[in-house]
Structure 1
Amino acid sequence: MLKLGILDQSPVLTGEGAAEALRHTLALAQGADRLGYTRFWVSEHHNAKGLAGSSPEVLLAAIGAHTSRIRIGSGGVLLPHYSPYKVAENFRLLEGLYPGRVDLGIGRAPGGMPLVSQALGRSSGKEREEAFERSLTELGSFVGTGTPLETEHPLAGLSATPDVPTVPDVWMLGSSGYSATVAAKLGARFAFAHFINGHGGQSAVRDYLRHYRPGPLGGKPGVAVCVFVLCGEDDEEAEREARALDLRLLYLEQGEFNRAVPSDEEAERYAYSAWDRARIADNRSRMIVGGPATVARLLPAFARSYGADEVIVTCMMSRADRRLRSYERLARLFIR
């Protein structure tokens, strides 16, 4: 049976605000726990008013308190902005609260415009890239998946607290071959963001599995792939629901990061150009859209194309109740 997890970006819906988006995320996590999904990840975005999730660690603390079984995790913490030591302590604390349920997903994207990096006080550009693998090695030592830092390291002997008996699972998240290479080199599990880049992911995963070796971020390989999935009552309804996401992706390509998820009416009346329609057709490579019969056929084939252990599904619709129903349909198809 195909394993399914969820990535939720806390999208702000038309006519609502960020507080409502966060409440929808919490309710969705409770629903996912009830439905039997394997994991529930939340994202990190900055200076983007269309997405409410700017601090996954804080949101995960609330989600863990309102769920009982499902794994919870970051999709992901943007490590170049932060001290590896502080990230490790945040996730060791979560692991202490919710033992055996925590995933530490790591990304390297800025999560916003250059001003975000400046405001967060971390390096950018070439300096950041050169420091990334070093930060990952330090993170593994502090979070508990790696060995202690070597004696010549300036932080040798430092321990991250709390001192709890279990450790989070560490995932590298990425939409390119670079992240797959780093994950394989350092021993992390790897999740490919097909919902961001619909091309080249299968090759990245094959390279990851071919070159994987245990390292400071873990001791065994694991593969997940994240994709947009909209499962309607039938194909026709799913296509109607997908229009809001089609338009949202167009807005993002135009640099409009602060827009809410469009309403049905906005998506219907938008004056699409020929170029817009070509972009929509290309963006559909990042989605699986259909009724239950269509999704039941397409989603397992998609997972097989990656050789993935699990599919992380993400869904944006114009209304929160419709989004939940999509996840409920998926659960009926694939979760027993």
Structure 2
Amino acid sequence: MLKLSILDQSPVSSGYTHSDALQQTIALAQAADRLGYTRFWASEHHNSMGLAGSSPEVLISSLAARTSRIRFGSGGVLLPHYSAYKVAENFRMLEALYPGRIDLGIGRAPGGTPHTAKALRGVSADLFEGLERFPAQVTDLLGFLTDSVEPGHVFEGIRATPLVAGVPQVWLLGSTGQSGVYASQAGAAFCFAHFINGAGGQQAVRSYRSSFRPSALNVVPQATVCIYVLCAETQAEAEGLAASLDLRILQMEKGEFTGVKSPEEAADYGYSDWDQTRVQDNRSRMIVGDPGHVKQQLLSLAESYQVDEVMIVAGGYHWETRLRTIELLADAFNMK
């Protein structure tokens, strides 16, 4: 049976606060734990009025303390902004506190504007230099996590603490084939962000598998795919609720990071011809419908990627819409 997991971005709906969004993420994680989902990842975005999750490490610790079974991870830590050593220590600490339940998802996107990236790294930091250093950072990070920093390396003899027996599962995240290349070279798992880029993901995963190098992390390749999902009792209800998700994706493309609008606000939005074309095209990045339709589409997606797990980003304006999506899918897949 297909395994299901969740990526939550802590979206801020119009009329709600960032604190509200984080409390909704906590409640969604508790429901996912109860319903039998495999893992729950928290995202990292900065200087965003529409997304509240800026520190996945802190949020993961809170979520794991409130649950008992499900794995928690970052979707993902934006490594170019940070010290590989500090990231290793953060996730070793999480592994020590919640052994066997921690994933470290790594991304290389800026997670905000170039100006925001400079604030994260320091005003003199060069964004492109950070991206160029990414492969070396991944190597350093894995060395710290597995106590395998090579002799002669500038960091030889330095160990990440606390010292723990386990290692977080390491995933590289991306919406292009390049991230799959990095994952295969590192021997890490790979998650393709279909919710960001609805084209080319299957080929990226195939290439990742074919060039995978076994490592201390994984002997065989492991991959998953992440997609927007909105599920309701009927197809018509789902389509009505999806207007909020359609508009949210469109506004993110246009740089309008103002939060999730209600279906009523979405209906009143002044869509241009270009907007309407983009809304239609963006449907390749999501699955919308009743439980039977969504289940079949998720199974087809998994088959096309040749994966046994799919991660969903539950969409919708109301928090109850996101909750209902994961409840209906748990029933459809007999997860309880």
**Same fold, judged at TM 0.5 (above):** yes
In the TM superposition, residue 129 of structure 1 has moved relative to its aligned partner by 2.7
> Which residue number in structure 2 is paired with residue 133 of structure 1?
135
**Contact 1:71 1:101 (8 Å CA) reproduced:** yes
TM-score, normalised by the number of residues in structure 2 = 0.97
Q: Which amino acid aligns with 1:67?
A: T
1:274 maps to 2:276: no
Change (3 A) 1:309 1:319: same
1:88 maps to 2:88: yes
> Which residue number in structure 2 is paired with residue 308 of structure 1?
307
1:6-35 residue CA offsets vs partner (Å, 9 max, x unmatched): 000000011110000000000000000000
Q: Which amino acid aligns with 2:223?
A: V
**Contact 2:104 2:168 (8 Å CA) reproduced:** yes
1:297-327 residue CA offsets vs partner (Å, 9 max, x unmatched): 2110111000112100011211001210111
> Which residue number in structure 2 is paired with residue 250 of structure 1?
250
In the TM superposition, residue 216 of structure 1 has moved relative to its aligned partner by 6.0
1:74-110 residue CA offsets vs partner (Å, 9 max, x unmatched): 0000000000000000000000110000000000000
TM-score, normalised by the number of residues in structure 1 = 0.97
> Which residue number in structure 1 is paired with residue 285 of structure 2?
286
RMSD (CA atoms): 1.2
5 Å matches for 1:162-177? 162-177=162-177
> Which residue number in structure 2 is paired with residue 326 of structure 1?
325
Query: Following the alignment from structure 1 to structure 2, what is the Cα–Cα distance between the partners of residues 10 and 211?
Result: 35
Query: Following the alignment from structure 2 to structure 1, what is the Cα–Cα distance between the partners of residues 95 and 211?
Result: 29
> Which residue number in structure 1 is paired with residue 59 of structure 2?
59
**Contact 1:104 1:168 (8 Å CA) reproduced:** yes
In the TM superposition, residue 126 of structure 1 has moved relative to its aligned partner by 3.6
In the TM superposition, residue 271 of structure 1 has moved relative to its aligned partner by 2.0
Q: Which amino acid aligns with 1:332?
A: D
**Contact 1:188 1:219 (8 Å CA) reproduced:** no
3-state secondary structure, aligned to 2:133: helix
Query: Following the alignment from structure 2 to structure 1, what is the Cα–Cα distance between the partners of residues 46 and 127?
Result: 18
- Which is further off, 313-322 or 55-64? 313-322
- Which is further off, 216-225 or 131-140? 216-225
> Which residue number in structure 2 is paired with residue 22 of structure 1?
22
3-state secondary structure, aligned to 1:167: coil
Query: Following the alignment from structure 2 to structure 1, what is the Cα–Cα distance between the partners of residues 150 and 32?
Result: 42
Q: Which runs of 5+ in 2 are unaligned?
A: none
**Contact 2:247 2:266 (8 Å CA) reproduced:** yes
In the TM superposition, residue 217 of structure 1 has moved relative to its aligned partner by 5.0
3-state secondary structure, aligned to 1:312: strand
Query: Following the alignment from structure 1 to structure 2, what is the Cα–Cα distance between the partners of residues 275 and 121?
Result: 36
**Contact 1:261 1:316 (8 Å CA) reproduced:** no
**Contact 2:118 2:127 (8 Å CA) reproduced:** no
3-state secondary structure, aligned to 2:158: coil
**Contact 2:11 2:51 (8 Å CA) reproduced:** yes
- Deviating above 4 A after TM superposition, structure 1's stretches of 4 or more consecutive aligned residues are none
Q: Which amino acid aligns with 2:48?
A: A
Q: Which amino acid aligns with 2:253?
A: E
In the TM superposition, residue 141 of structure 1 has moved relative to its aligned partner by 1.1
1:27-75 residue CA offsets vs partner (Å, 9 max, x unmatched): 0000000000000000000011100000000000000000100000000
Count of aligned pairs between the two proteins: 333
In the TM superposition, residue 150 of structure 1 has moved relative to its aligned partner by 2.0
Query: Following the alignment from structure 2 to structure 1, what is the Cα–Cα distance between the partners of residues 330 and 119?
Result: 41
1:135-173 residue CA offsets vs partner (Å, 9 max, x unmatched): 1011001112xx522222111000000011111000000
In the TM superposition, residue 269 of structure 1 has moved relative to its aligned partner by 1.1
5 Å matches for 1:40-119? 40-119=40-119
**Contact 2:315 2:321 (8 Å CA) reproduced:** no
Q: Which amino acid aligns with 2:61?
A: A
3-state secondary structure, aligned to 1:54: coil
> Which residue number in structure 2 is paired with residue 213 of structure 1?
213
- Which is further off, 244-253 or 74-83? 244-253
Change (3 A) 1:216 1:114: farther
